[in-house]
């Protein structure tokens, strides 16, 4: 007996070991992924990232002629040691390393009566001549000035100057500041958040009614014949088609539709239409599943009380299936948030700070693609966006779990 | 060392085993042994992970003076880098990079790493501050890299950043056409435009530049409110940095126009402004390529304007303490970066 048992024990142990090994590997891989993403991206996550624009706003400002001369502005006492203060112009600069690894010179403080406080916008357009607030955090690209003898020169980031040099040059040489080229910091993801919201709303608006209605037809009304079985198999197969194929179809087949509505380029509506098609199989499947769980007894009771089939479906079956349908919707939202390949084709890769339905824009996932595809991949920003997506998907998944638990409970 | 690792992870690992074991009825028996195994496996994996990880982040710089027989440490940029693309093309070793190459994530990172490794060799763009990073630029085919040799074409490791526009009259509005002409004038000919392009890493001949105030007189459109106009660019991803800097600098000079940049690759530069996709969903106004447009298949003669606005130059660098090499030929670059030559004295 004992000799007979040994090989069995060994093979059992081997199989057990295999499962444990796989589990350990999965744990290690997933943990290291999380550690990587969080260690790189967490430092960037703050309200400013969510609120600010991705693109810098450039401005060229000029100073009020009557005040455009050096004076004496004592250094405010509350400034830190790292601030380079220009006594004659009453402005303080700091060095800053951006998350794109770019050395920046930022304005830190401007004295109340400094000539710089009189800056006005010189660009033609609605804001021409309007005052520009020299607030802390603005990038000093270039300061053009003339010295005492009238020779033009410039300083700032375009002259590769650091904060201390800018302040020193202004104090020593500048007799008059001809113009200043300043930029807002940028680097935020507000535009992509808005685009993602647009995308989710519009694609669900299109996919939900169609998806739920077809699921109701397929599972409640359609006869069980070969054609309907083929349709069902077809829909299930569609779930497995790579999304990039849908993207190609979207840009070639659906683009004329959005072009007829006035779109010149790929746009968010086109992305939403494509996403709606991608979502259809998911929504149909999950709605069908939800309808299947509704006990037959409920339908029979309704029918035996004299309700028509349609009344039964819309007043009894669908409401009972609601939690299941809702979890399908949440899964769809997760799908939209995670999609990138199809959207690169249909929405473009330009990060748009003022997205509109017929304009280009990027979802959060495509935003990651955009910041990673350049000459200088921005790992920090990509990881920060990943964290936001992860948290969003986590919340969705928890909600799905909650809903499906409720669904199971209600029919126990 | 091994013991230390083991102990450190023992506590964490057994904790996670306990948690997962609760649901795992199958393994109730013999769980203790499994636990030990799990811990061992986890430790082994972590140790293995730790020992292979430093490959991408070497900290050992070696001794201060390199010996001629020392092994060469090849550094490379990540696969999406345009600098890497340009360098691989110049060394004629695309797709053949040695597998022992250490990958770094940026131009500055490359300079720092090679500056810390006496046996390192890598490549950066010409705009890098060599001395500050402790690296030495190498001559290519006997020519020292400098702005002058790049501009006169004798330094070979370079590529042009070229552009082409849609055909004259093929724009949504006449204002847009004028604005694009103004932008290209700013980009190519103004000192202000050249300055921002140079600061963003491009090589330009600033002696040819004119003040924008002077050039702007030919472009009355820049004095209008252009906030309703959107210029669309496409093509090479390598031009992104210089192009973005130039567009952002030109915005306040030309009535705050809008722009969209869809940089996807040099191949799309011609296609989306003059070629097969010029009226499609991805149409653009200015197309860019980080190479010259191919004569014949990319015929830019119908464009309103085409040309090049700057040159991108790549420089091979070694640690400044390295005296074994000062000049490399294309064949030598090829051999070093494909792994055929692995030590300094093998360089012929």
| Residue A8: inside a domain | no
Give the pTM. Answer: 0.77
Question: Which residues in B lie closer than 8 A to residue A379 (C-beta atoms)?
Answer: 105
Same domain for A107 and A233? no
pLDDT, residue B348, reads 66
Q: How many CB atoms lie within 10 A of CB B129?
A: 11
Residues written for chain A: 412
Q: Between residues 252 and 291 of chain B, which touch chain A (CB distance below 8 Å)?
A: 252-256, 260-264, 280-283
Residue A256 sits in a domain whose CATH number is 1.10.3720.10
* Contact assignment for B222 to A377 by CB distance below 8 Å: no
A374 touches chain B (CB under 8 A): yes
pLDDT, residue A412, reads 52
- Considering only the beta carbons, identify the residue of A59, A101, A265 that sits closest to B282: A265
Whether B104 contacts B76, CB under 8 Å: yes
Predicted confidence (pLDDT) per residue in B100-112, tens digit: 899 887 777 888 8
Residue A404 has pLDDT above 80, yes or no: no
* Contact assignment for A122 to B241 by CB distance below 8 Å: no
The residue with tokens 């699921």 is A215
A183 touches chain B (CB under 8 A): yes
Domain coordinates in residue numbering, chain B: 2-51, 69-348
Task: Reduce the DSSP state of residue B257 to 3 states and report it.
Answer: coil
What Å distances lie between residue A58 and A181, B189, B218, B252, B276, CA to CA? Answer: 7, 21, 23, 6, 35
Cβ-based burial of A51 (10 A; exposed 0-12, middle 13-18, buried ≥19): exposed
Residue A238 has pLDDT above 80, yes or no: yes
The residue with tokens 């070629």 is B275
pLDDT, residue A185, reads 84
The distance of Cα B238 from the centroid of its chain, to the nearest Å, equals: 7
A53 touches chain B (CB under 8 A): no
| Residue A272: inside a domain | yes
- Considering only the beta carbons, identify the residue of A124, A350, A376 that sits closest to B261: A350
d(CA A299, CA A374): 58
Same domain for A403 and A268? yes
d(CA A244, CA A225): 33
Same domain for A235 and A178? no
Same domain for A299 and A219? yes
- Considering only the beta carbons, identify the residue of A16, A125, A266 that sits closest to B34: A16
The residue with tokens 């650091």 is A162
Residue A79 has pLDDT above 60, yes or no: yes
Domain final residue pick, A132, A164, A183:
A183
Q: Between residues 147 and 166 of chain B, which touch chain A (CB distance below 8 Å)?
A: none
d(CA A256, CA A332): 26
Same domain for A106 and A158? yes
* Contact assignment for A375 to B45 by CB distance below 8 Å: no
Return the percentage of chain A with pLDDT > 70, whole number: 96
Same domain for A215 and A93? no
What Å distances lie between residue A174 and A39, A151, A167, CA to CA? Answer: 44, 10, 10
What Å distances lie between residue A85 and A69, A161, A166, B57, CA to CA? Answer: 16, 15, 9, 39
pLDDT, residue B58, reads 42
pLDDT, residue B263, reads 85
* Contact assignment for B263 to A374 by CB distance below 8 Å: yes
Tokens describing residue A244: 């990039």
Number of domains composing chain A: 2
Predicted confidence (pLDDT) per residue in A297-325, tens digit: 999 999 999 999 999 999 999 988 988 89
* Contact assignment for B281 to A372 by CB distance below 8 Å: no
Residue scoring higher pLDDT (A140 or B347) = A140
Same domain for A205 and A169? no
Digitized pLDDT (tens) for each residue of chain B, 348 residues in all? 444 444 444 444 444 444 444 444 444 555 555 566 566 656 665 555 544 444 433 444 444 555 667 889 999 988 877 788 889 988 888 888 888 899 887 777 888 889 999 999 999 988 888 888 889 999 999 999 998 999 998 998 998 999 999 999 999 899 999 999 999 999 999 999 999 999 888 999 988 899 999 999 999 999 989 999 999 999 888 888 899 999 999 999 999 999 999 888 888 899 999 998 888 888 899 999 988 888 888 888 899 999 999 998 999 999 999 888 889 999 999 999 998 888 888 886
d(CA A197, CA A194): 5
d(CA A86, CA A180): 15
The distance of Cα A369 from the centroid of its chain, to the nearest Å, equals: 11
Same domain for A228 and A334? yes
In 3D, which of A245, A246, A244, A267 has the Cα closest to residue A255?
A: A267
Whether B209 contacts B190, CB under 8 Å: yes
What Å distances lie between residue A131 and A121, A122, A128, A141, B255, CA to CA? Answer: 6, 10, 9, 19, 16
Same domain for A217 and A327? yes
Predicted confidence (pLDDT) per residue in A17-27, tens digit: 999 999 999 99
| Residue A13: inside a domain | no
A253 touches chain B (CB under 8 A): no
Size of interface A-B (CB pairs under 8 A): 123
pLDDT, residue B26, reads 47
Task: Reduce the DSSP state of residue A199 to 3 states and report it.
Answer: helix
Q: How many CB atoms lie within 10 A of CB B274?
A: 23
Same domain for A335 and A248? yes
Work out the average pLDDT over A206-233.
92
Same domain for A202 and A113? no
* Mean confidence (pLDDT) of chain A: 90
pLDDT, residue A267, reads 92
B37 touches chain A (CB under 8 A): yes
Residue scoring higher pLDDT (A111 or B64) = A111
Whether A269 contacts A258, CB under 8 Å: yes
A261 touches chain B (CB under 8 A): no
pLDDT, residue B57, reads 39
- Please compute Rg for chain B using Cα positions: 27
d(CA B136, CA B315): 10
Predicted confidence (pLDDT) per residue in A268-302, tens digit: 999 999 999 999 999 999 999 999 989 999 999 99
* Contact assignment for B42 to A24 by CB distance below 8 Å: yes
State the residue range of the domain holding A127: 56-183
Nearest CA in chain B to A180: B252
Q: Between residues 60 and 89 of chain B, which touch chain A (CB distance below 8 Å)?
A: 78, 80-83
Same domain for A201 and A178? no
Residue A142 has phi, psi (to 5 degrees) of -155, 135
The residue with tokens 């958040």 is A193
pLDDT, residue A125, reads 81
Predicted confidence (pLDDT) per residue in A335-389, tens digit: 999 999 999 989 988 899 989 999 999 999 999 988 887 666 788 899 999 999 9
* Contact assignment for A20 to B38 by CB distance below 8 Å: yes
* Contact assignment for B251 to A58 by CB distance below 8 Å: yes
What CATH number should be reported for the domain whose range is B69-348? 3.40.190.10
| Residue A22: inside a domain | no
Residue scoring higher pLDDT (B114 or A127) = B114
Residue A102 has phi, psi (to 5 degrees) of -105, 135
């Amino acid at each position: 007996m004992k000799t007979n048992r040994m090989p069995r024990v060994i093979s059992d142990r081997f199989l057990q070991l295999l499962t444990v090994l796989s589990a350990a590997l999965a744990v290690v891989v997933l943990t290291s992924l999380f550690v990587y993403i969080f260690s790189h991206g967490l430092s960037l996550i703050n309200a400013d990232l969510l609120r600010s624009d991705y693109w810098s706003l450039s401005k060229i400002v000029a100073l009020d002629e009557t005040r455009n001369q050096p004076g004496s502005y004592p250094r405010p006492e509350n400034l830190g040691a790292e601030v380079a203060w220009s006594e004659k112009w009453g402005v303080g600069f700091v060095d800053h390393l951006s998350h794109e690894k770019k050395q920046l010179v930022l304005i830190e403080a401007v004295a109340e009566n400094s000539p710089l406080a009189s800056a006005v916008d010189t660009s033609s357009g609605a804001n021409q001549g309007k005052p520009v607030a020299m607030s802390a955090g603005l990038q000093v690209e270039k300061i053009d000035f003339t010295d005492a003898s009238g020779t033009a020169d410039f300083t700032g980031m375009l002259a590769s100057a650091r904060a201390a040099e800018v302040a020193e040059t202004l104090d020593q040489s500048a007799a008059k500041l001809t113009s200043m080229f300043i930029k807002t910091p940028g680097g935020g993801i507000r535009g992509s958040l808005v685009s993602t919201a647009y995308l989710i709303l519009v694609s669900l608006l299109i996919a939900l009614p169609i998806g739920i209605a077809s699921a109701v037809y397929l599972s409640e009304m359609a006869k069980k014949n070969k054609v309907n079985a083929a349709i069902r198999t077809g829909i299930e197969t569609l779930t497995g088609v790579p999304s990039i194929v849908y993207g190609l179809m979207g840009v070639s087949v659906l683009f004329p539709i959005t072009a007829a509505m006035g779109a010149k380029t790929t746009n968010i509506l086109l992305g939403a239409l494509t996403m709606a098609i991608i979502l259809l199989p998911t929504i149909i499947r999950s709605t069908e599943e939800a309808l299947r769980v509704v006990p037959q007894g409920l339908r029979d009771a309704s029918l035996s009380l004299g309700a028509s089939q349609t009344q039964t479906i819309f007043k009894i079956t669908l409401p009972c299936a609601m939690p299941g349908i809702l979890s399908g919707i949440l899964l769809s939202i997760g799908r939209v948030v995670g999609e990138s390949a199809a959207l690169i084709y249909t929405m473009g890769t330009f990060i748009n700070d003022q997205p509109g339905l017929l304009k280009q824009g990027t979802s959060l996932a495509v935003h990651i693609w955009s910041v990673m595809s350049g000459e200088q991949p921005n790992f920090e920003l990509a990881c920060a966006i990943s964290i936001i997506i992860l948290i969003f998907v986590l919340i969705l998944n928890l909600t799905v779990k909650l809903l499906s638990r409720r669904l199971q409970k209600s029919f126990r | 060392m091994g013991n230390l690792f083991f102990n450190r992870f023992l506590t964490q690992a057994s904790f996670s085993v306990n948690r997962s074991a609760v649901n795992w009825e199958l393994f109730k028996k013999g769980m203790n042994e499994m636990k030990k195994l799990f811990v061992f496996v986890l430790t082994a994996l972590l140790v293995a992970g730790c020992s292979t990880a430093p490959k991408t982040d070497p900290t050992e710089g070696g001794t201060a003076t390199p010996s001629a027989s020392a092994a060469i440490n090849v550094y490379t940029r990540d696969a999406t880098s345009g600098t890497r693309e340009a360098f691989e093309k110049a060394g004629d070793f695309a797709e053949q990079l040695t597998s022992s190459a250490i990958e770094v994530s940026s131009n500055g990172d490359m300079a720092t790493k090679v500056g810390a490794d006496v046996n390192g060799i890598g490549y950066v763009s010409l705009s890098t501050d060599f001395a500050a990073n402790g690296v030495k630029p190498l001559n290519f085919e006997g020519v020292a890299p400098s702005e002058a040799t790049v501009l006169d074409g004798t330094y070979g490791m370079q590529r042009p950043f070229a552009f082409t526009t849609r055909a004259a009259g093929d724009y949504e509005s006449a204002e847009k056409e004028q604005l694009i002409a103004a932008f290209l004038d700013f980009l190519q000919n103004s000192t202000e435009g050249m300055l921002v392009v140079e600061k963003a890493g491009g090589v330009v001949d600033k002696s040819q530049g004119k003040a924008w105030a002077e050039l702007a007189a030919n472009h009355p459109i820049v004095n209008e409110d252009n906030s309703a106009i959107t210029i669309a660019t496409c093509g090479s991803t390598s031009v992104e940095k210089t192009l973005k800097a130039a567009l952002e600098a030109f915005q306040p000079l030309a009535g705050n126009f809008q722009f969209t940049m869809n940089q996807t690759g040099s191949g799309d530069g011609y296609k989306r402004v003059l070629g097969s996709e010029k009226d499609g969903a991805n149409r653009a106004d200015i197309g860019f390529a980080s190479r010259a447009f191919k004569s014949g298949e990319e015929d830019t003669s119908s464009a309103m304007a085409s040309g090049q606005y700057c040159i991108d130059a790549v420089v091979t660098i070694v640690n400044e303490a390295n005296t074994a090499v000062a000049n490399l030929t294309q064949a030598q670059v090829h051999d070093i970066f494909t792994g055929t030559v692995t030590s300094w004295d093998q360089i012929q």
